[in-house]
Amino acid sequence: GSEETQAGWEHHDPEVVDQRINKMDTLPFLRRALWDAELEDTVIAVVGASPRVATVWSTEIAMLFIDGGHGAEHAAADYRSWAHHVTQGGVLAIHDVFTDPADGGQAPHDEIYRPALDSGAFVEIGATGSLRLLRRQ
């Protein structure tokens, strides 16, 4: 899980710790949510280290939601690994984008949002709270 969900951090939830391996495991919660929403035949969960999974990914993505690590290294890796997979007209959704450092961490803003816009490949089409929606040109 992200840094802020680890033990000792504000959003830590001990219920999502797999006691056998002593690591965060939110996959069972995702599986139940997909079942409850009747989306098991629509959403495919891919589990693995994001940059590693991206190296074997071969299809275009119509909607990419990045809600990853809040450190600069993880955020930059998510952008470098995945943004080019978004199809023309597709949406790149980025969570936890804060323009003011007083409101939250800067990595999603500095390492994903700004590079996507600065590349000219994406334009902003919407925002709500800290979520930014960009469309690939």
Token pair listed for 31: 């599986």
Which string of DSSP letters, residue by residue, matches 49-88? Answer: -HHHHHHH--S-EEEEEE---SSHHHHHHHHHHHGGGEEE
User: What backbone torsions phi and psi does residue 130 show, to the nearest 5 degrees?
Assistant: -95, 10
Catalytic (active site) residue 12 = no
d(CA 64, CA 59): 12
Say which of 11, 70, 85, 95 is annotated catalytic.
70
Which residues form the catalytic set? 70
